[in-house]
Amino acid sequence: MDKSNSTSQSIENYLKSYWIASTPGTNYPTLNEDIKVDVAIIGGGIVGITAGYLLKKAGTKIAIIEASHIVQGTTGFTTAKITSQHHLVYDKIIASMGMNIAKQYADANEGSIGFIEDTANKLNIDCDFQRLPAYMYTKEQKYIKEIEKEAEAALKLGIKVKCIDKLPINLDIKSALIFENQAQFHPRKYLLPLAKTIPGDGSHIFENTEAVEIEKGNLITIITDKGKKILASKVIIASHFPCYDGMGLYLARLKPQRSYVIATSIKEKFPKGMFINVEDPGRSLRAQNDGENQLVLVGGEGHKTAHGDSFKIHYDNLEKFAQSVFSVKDTLYKWSAQDYITLDNVPYVGKLTSQEENIYVATGFGEWGMTNGTAAARLLADKILGKDNPWEEVFNPSRPFSSVAYKRLFTENFDVVKELIISKIKSGDDEINIKCSEGRIVELDGNKYGAYKDDEGTLHLVDITCTHVGCELKWNDAEKSWDCPCHGSRFTYDGEILEGPATHKLNHYKEGKIGRASCRERG
């Protein structure tokens, strides 16, 4: 395991997820011939792997395709809490969608905790699963009432909760709510063994295999980046942001959000529990034993992707917070995640559109992908196997908009239009005068480019018009990436795609060599 000391290393040396650094990589084959299966699953995160496991177990022939490597997308960058405590959610769902629907949400998420525990036990998977209480707290007077309302709502829905005014941790609070019997785990230690149960008997996992087109017919054809095809009767799109929209208008209904995690070692013993606050900026805490050290994962600082000026500051803020609560020895890992949030904070899981019979989607888990993602996989496996599932209605992607959803639809899409307009009227510099490891927007001959100088001093320029629908990208100084403020696509400094929905890389111009993307890549 590779670790670095926070005080002496530059940030990129230790920007890595503990979950990925502490487990072996995977090496599944690339699709190199046309194949036919019953169900194709696009995306090898918690939804894809869990649904694949369930469908294969039921005798279905499946193929999971993953653009890079499995469990290295958002599932590899989580805080890995398995909890039905999702901030202040139940009171809001009861108010906007009613008691029955809120009960479905609570049951689905509570059910995920038991499902993960049972599956790990059944398959003898040692994934550091631990039952623990989850504490949600506030340091502000104005949220005391909200916490009380949430306690009332959760109790009505059958979740065991209790209000308290003291935490077993060094935080001075006004009020808190405990959810008993929640859990945490190591997501890759759980999902990599689960994935191993899938290949064989006509089922497959393919890595480095990207879906670039979906064609509908008697069977659905997925065309991959290497030109090979998968024919399937049903398709699950579990690619985080749906790689195929099918007129479902997911672009307008999902907001991209980034949040940050640091893993620190501390001198004192961390109490039994997981913690999260209600107010902004967000603060989340949990422990993880890595064998030598007890790590504390400190998360939070969420913001809409590519909004805000400096990204490094989020890690600094988390370190300051950690130092205010603990005697910190070292910060060993730092990573960030991208989540998609729906208009009403409830994921979209089910048929891609109300007219679509054979293509399913699972997206918009907010920051609660471990429980929501597991519930989504179980729901979709049931639908495909023709079984009833009690949570269909709450997650239905074609559900009517609540008043909360309408309001957010307007706000988010106004923001997208604003970014497009701003990008056309702002002017930039005339010279490329930047330091090593620095990135920013420059203007050359009246055209704007994203400029980055690497550690060797080589200058990289990219077109900064997002290849999705054309918003102007912003520089993320912490991760050396170009991020889109509209729908959250992200690109490396040399134009490769880090996150969709964009499916085409950026034109890249390197000092001394101009490397234009091919026509297909340029769309």
> Token pair for residue 91?
């009171």
Distance of alpha carbon 96 from alpha carbon 2, whole angstroms: 47
Query: In 271-354, which ranges are continuous DSSP H helix?
Result: 312-325
Nearest to ligand FES of 11, 67 (CB atom): 67
CB of 476: closest distance to ligand FES in angstroms? 14
Binding mask 131-170 for ligand FES (x = CB under 6 A): ----------------------------------------
The DSSP secondary structure of 1-33, one letter per residue, reads -----TTTS-GGGGBB-HHHHTS----PPPP-S
d(CA 202, CA 81): 34
CB of 259 or CB of 503, closer to ligand FES: 503
Binds ligand FES by CB under 6 A, chosen from 49, 486, 497, 506: 486
Segment near ligand FES (CB under 6 A), from 21-29, 73-81, 392-400, 487-495?
487-495
Closer residue to ligand FES (CB): 299 or 501: 501
Q: Is 487 an interacting residue with respect to ligand FES (CB under 6 A)?
A: yes
Binding test (CB under 6 A) with ligand FES, winner from 206, 451, 501, 507: 501
Query: Residue 252, interface with ligand FES (CB under 6 A)?
Result: no
Distance CA 28, CA 179 (A): 39
Q: Residue 32: is it exposed, middle or buried by C-beta count within 10 angstroms (0-12/13-18/19+)?
A: exposed
Considering beta carbons, is residue 132 or 471 the nearer one to ligand FES? 471
The residues in 425-484 that bind ligand FES, with binding defined as CB under 6 A, are 466, 468-471, 484
CA distances from 507 to 399, 450, 464 (A): 39, 10, 9
| Number of chain residues interacting with ligand FES (CB under 6 A) | 12
Cβ nearer to ligand FES, comparing 114 with 470: 470
Candidate residues 86, 502, 503, 509; the one interacting with ligand FES per rule CB under 6 A: 502
From the list 50, 389, 476, 489, which residue makes contact with ligand FES (rule: CB under 6 A)? 489
d(CA 300, CA 276): 9
Least separation in angstroms between CB 23 and ligand FES: 30
- Dihedral sign from CA coordinates of 345, 351, 356, 361: positive
User: Which is nearer to ligand FES, 238 or 502 (by Cβ)?
Assistant: 502
Q: Give the nearest distance from C-beta 502 to ligand FES in angstroms.
A: 6
Smallest gap from residue 469 Cβ to ligand FES (A)? 4
Asked if 70 and 43 touch (Cβ cutoff 8 Å), the reply is no
The angle, 0 to 180 degrees and rounded to 10, between the axes of the packed helices 99-122 and 144-156 is 70
506 binds ligand FES (CB under 6 A): no
CA distance 231 to 17: 35
Nearer to ligand FES, 234 or 487 (CB): 487
Burial class (CB in 10 A: 0-12, 13-18, 19+), 387: exposed
Residue 251: CB minimum distance to ligand FES, A: 7
| Angle at 522 (CA atoms; ends 520, 523), nearest 5 degrees | 65
Please say which residue, 43 or 52, places its beta carbon nearer to ligand FES.
43
Interface residues with ligand FES (CB under 6 A) are 466, 468-471, 484, 486-489, 501-502
